[in-house]
Amino acid sequence: MLTWEFPPRIVGGIARHCFGLTRALAKAGHEVSVVTLEFPGALEYEEMDGVKLFRVPIALGHPNFLTWVLLFNHFIEKQVAELCREEKPDIIHAHDWVVSPSAISLKLSLNVPLVFTIHSTEMGRAQGLRNPDSFTINGFEWWATYEACKVIVTTEAMKREVGGHFELSTKKMATIPNAIDQKKFDIVIDRKSIKQRYATPHEKIVLFVGRLTPQKGVEYLIHAVPQILRHHPEAKFVIVGEGWLRSNLEQLARNSGHSEKIFFTGFLSERDLLEIMSSADVLVLPSIYEPFGIVALEGLAAGIPVVASRIDGLAEVINHNKNGILVYPRNPESIAWGVNQILSDSNYARLLCTNGQKKLRKTYNWDAVAEKTERVYEDAVKL
User: Mind listing the pLDDT tens digit for each residue in 184-238?
Assistant: 888 888 888 999 999 998 999 999 999 999 999 999 999 999 999 999 999 999 9
What is the residue-averaged pLDDT of the chain? 94
With respect to residue 4, please indicate whether it lies within any of the assigned structural domains: no
With respect to residue 3, please indicate whether it lies within any of the assigned structural domains: no
- Going by pLDDT thresholds of 50, 70 and 90, the confidence category of residue 13 is confident
Mean pLDDT in residue range 56-62: 93
With respect to residue 51, please indicate whether it lies within any of the assigned structural domains: yes
Q: Is the pLDDT of residue 21 over 90?
A: yes
Number of domains the chain contains: 2
Mean pLDDT in residue range 55-75: 95
- Closest alpha carbon to 324 in 344, 361, 292, 297: 297
With respect to residue 8, please indicate whether it lies within any of the assigned structural domains: no
- Going by pLDDT thresholds of 50, 70 and 90, the confidence category of residue 275 is very high
Mean pLDDT in residue range 289-314: 91
The residues facing 33 across adjacent strands are 52
Position 87 scores a pLDDT of 87
Cis ω for the linkage preceding 233 (within 30 of 0): no
Q: Is the pLDDT of residue 95 over 90?
A: yes
- In terms of C-beta distances under 8 Å and separation of at least 24 residues, what long-range contacts does 144-148 make, across chains too? 144/94, 144/97, 144/100, 144/103, 144/104, 144/114, 144/116, 144/118, 145/116, 145/118, 145/172, 147/103, 147/104, 147/107, 147/114, 147/116, 148/94, 148/114, 148/115, 148/116, 148/172
Mean pLDDT in residue range 83-101: 95
- Going by pLDDT thresholds of 50, 70 and 90, the confidence category of residue 126 is confident
Give CA–CA dist 113/111, Å, rounded.
7
- Going by pLDDT thresholds of 50, 70 and 90, the confidence category of residue 361 is confident
Position 176 scores a pLDDT of 95
Mean pLDDT in residue range 71-96: 95
Residues 6+ away with beta carbon under 8 Å from 299 = 277, 283, 285, 305, 306, 324, 356
Mean pLDDT in residue range 259-268: 95
- Going by pLDDT thresholds of 50, 70 and 90, the confidence category of residue 340 is very high
Same-domain pairing of 340 and 204: yes
Same-domain pairing of 172 and 23: yes
Contact 218, 239 (CB under 8 A): yes
Q: Using CA atoms in the order 214, 119, 53, 269, what is the torsion angle rounded to 10 degrees?
A: 30
Same-domain pairing of 150 and 38: yes
Position 12 scores a pLDDT of 79
The residues facing 19 across adjacent strands are none
Tell me the CA distances in angstroms from 202 to 80, 196, 198, 239, 294, one per residue in order: 55, 9, 12, 19, 30
> What global pTM score does this model have?
0.84
What is the residue range of 164's domain?
A: 13-179+365-382
Choose from 112-116, 201-205, 269-273 the range with maximum mean pLDDT. 112-116
- Better-predicted residue by pLDDT, 361 or 143: 143
- Going by pLDDT thresholds of 50, 70 and 90, the confidence category of residue 313 is confident
Mean pLDDT in residue range 146-172: 94
Position 292 scores a pLDDT of 84
CATH code of the domain in which 18 resides: 3.40.50.2000
Position 1 scores a pLDDT of 98
Same-domain pairing of 263 and 173: no
Same-domain pairing of 278 and 153: no
Position 57 scores a pLDDT of 95
Q: Is the pLDDT of residue 333 over 90?
A: yes
Tell me the CA distances in angstroms from 365 to 128, 288, 360, 372, one per residue in order: 33, 26, 7, 11
Same-domain pairing of 53 and 104: yes
Same-domain pairing of 45 and 169: yes
With respect to residue 6, please indicate whether it lies within any of the assigned structural domains: no
- Going by pLDDT thresholds of 50, 70 and 90, the confidence category of residue 359 is confident
